[in-house]
Amino acid sequence: MSWPIVELGSVVSFVGGSQPPKSTFKFEPEDDYVRLLQIRDYKSDKNLTFIPESSTKKFCKKDDVMIGRYGPPVFQILRGLEGAYNVALMKAVPSEKVDKDYLYYFLKQDKLFRLIDSLSQRTAGQSGIDMDALKSYPMLLPPLEEQKRIAAILDKADAIRQKRKQAIELADEFLRSVFLDMFGDIPAGFSKYPLVGCRGSVKAASGKSSKGVISDSSTDIPIYGGNGINGYATEALYSKPVVIVGRVGQQCGITTLTDGPCWVTDNAIVLEITDLKKYDAAYLAHALKHSPLRDSVKRLDLPFVNQSMILDYKIPLPPISEQKKFGSIRKNLLKHLSLQQKGIGISEDNFQVLSQQAFSGQL
């Protein structure tokens, strides 16, 4: 195949959003008003905001390819909503030479994300896209019909991948129910066990930049940011499972439990249990995950959590035997889920390999 390789910016333009004054905001739909989209709206409808349609010229449709300009994580590739969009988003507008679905999957490549993330400029805890690097990124440009064929294959693979995610979400909902039954309702402040902070039994520290350890291919050492895995490392920062809490931005307060050696970036806070007779890692992760800590800060202009907020946040302190019982339930559920998903076929890693083949002319 002799398809041309072009710079992305020569066939795609990027159009930033606008920020109408907050004085114009409404929180219920009205005539002549349009929804104002922010990055967080692609995950939840909990923060519906509407502005006068006449107050902006920056609109997007459901099939438009949108990019989160700031993070962490920077460079989120989004679609599926329509309305006006704010300054934290920009629209990728393809020329007549580029299929919109092909562009969507091209921008979602893990390799491209890692490059943009590594070059992001950090200001006041946020990171922004290096537009020169993005526009100069090489893009394989097959004929439109071939682009459509590639996008259709990736569409099917992505649909299978989404089934895996749905199964994980159902498992998470089950664990939430088990946690509530065993330990009480943390947001309501109700538990049969004392509500205390974990300071003195848990050590907190910030992660470190991953720029020097990023691997070009998948390894056994995932890199965790504020919102889960965003790459792979050549060496580990932590050798044992740890609890990770997103530190800043829209991902602050998101809690993840690792299952082995890993690297954690400076977008997250790492919790290590120092008193194993008092806390179990799986219990601690889920206690923080089900707490309203995230809800209490995400409406700030720059949402953040710090180490003291986490260590002093009051959660139930059940006997370690009860914590371990919950951990055992979680472990068995994840084992069952893993066996079930072997039949689904497309994992995140497999999808990224398929994507890499597609955009190098091997699909």
* For residues 206-215, average pLDDT: 91
Residues 199, 93, single domain; the answer is: no
Residue 151 lies in a domain: no
Q: State whether 12 and 133 are in the same domain.
A: yes
Q: Mean pLDDT over residues 124-144, rounded? A: 86
Q: 236 and 112, same structural domain? A: no
Domain final residue pick, 276, 302, 317: 317
Q: How many domains does the chain have?
A: 2
Of 63-72, 87-96, 189-198, 330-339, where does mean pLDDT reach its minimum?
Answer: 330-339
Q: Are 215 and 130 members of one domain?
A: no
- Give the model's pLDDT for residue 342: 61
Is residue 150 one of the residues assigned to a domain?
A: no
- Residues 6+ positions from 15 with CB-CB distance below 8 Å: 58, 90, 91, 93
Taking residue 343's Cβ as centre, other Cβ atoms within 10 Å add up to 6
134 in the same domain as 249: no
Determine how many CB atoms are found less than 10 A away from the CB of residue 347.
Answer: 14
Q: Which of 80, 109, 141 is the last residue of a domain?
A: 141
- As given in the structure block, the two tokens for residue 341 are 């998903």
- State the average pLDDT for the chain: 89
Helix or strand run (H / E) with residue 310: helix 307-311
Read off the CATH number of the domain in which 75 is found: 3.90.220.20
- Mean pLDDT confidence for 3-31: 95
Residue 59's pLDDT is what? Answer: 97
Q: Would 219 be classed as within a structural domain?
A: yes
Lowest mean pLDDT among 65-79, 157-171, 203-217, 251-265: 157-171
| 85 or 173, which is more confident | 85
Q: Is residue 209 part of a domain?
A: yes
Residue 165 in this model has a pLDDT that exceeds 80: no
Are 133 and 112 a contacting pair, CB within 8 Å?
no
Whether 154 is in a domain gets the answer no
Six token digits for residue 122? 């950090």
Query: Does some domain include residue 360?
Result: no
Single out the residue of 87, 88, 11 nearest to residue 250, CA to CA: 88
User: What is the reported pLDDT for 287?
Assistant: 94
In contact, 308 and 266? CB cutoff 8 Å: no
136 with 207, same domain: the answer is no
Torsion-angle region of 129 (φ positive above 0: left; ψ -120 to 50: alpha; else: beta): beta
DSSP annotation string for 62-110: TTSEEEE-EESSP--EE-S--EEE-TTEEEEEE-TTS-HHHHHHHHT-H
Mean pLDDT along residues 67-90? 92
**Terminal Cα-to-Cα distance of the chain (whole angstroms):** 11
Band (193; pLDDT cuts 50, 70, 90): very high
Q: Do 122 and 204 belong to one domain?
A: no
Q: Are residues 19 and 105 in the same domain?
A: yes
Please, which pLDDT band fits residue 348 given cuts at 50, 70 and 90?
low
In a domain, 127, yes or no: yes
Are 27 and 124 members of one domain? yes
Of 66-75, 121-130, 139-148, 326-335, which one has max mean pLDDT? 139-148
Mean pLDDT across the stretch 91-112? 96
Rounded Cα gap, residues 239 and 191, in angstroms: 33
User: Where does a domain end: 99, 121, 141?
Assistant: 141
346: left (phi over 0), alpha (psi -120 to 50) or beta: beta
Winning range, highest mean pLDDT, from 180-194, 326-340, 344-358: 180-194
Distance CA 338, CA 141 (A): 37
Residue 175 lies in a domain: no
Looking at the predicted structure, is the pLDDT value of residue 124 above 60?
no
> Is 130 in the same domain as 204?
no
Residues 10 and 134 in one domain: yes
| Contact between 318 and 193 (Cβ < 8 Å) | yes
Which residues constitute the domain of residue 34?
Answer: 5-141
Say if pTM beats, i.e. exceeds, 0.95: no
Instruction: Give per-residue pLDDT as tens, 243-268.
Output: 999 887 766 788 999 988 999 998 89
What confidence score (pLDDT) does residue 49 get? 95
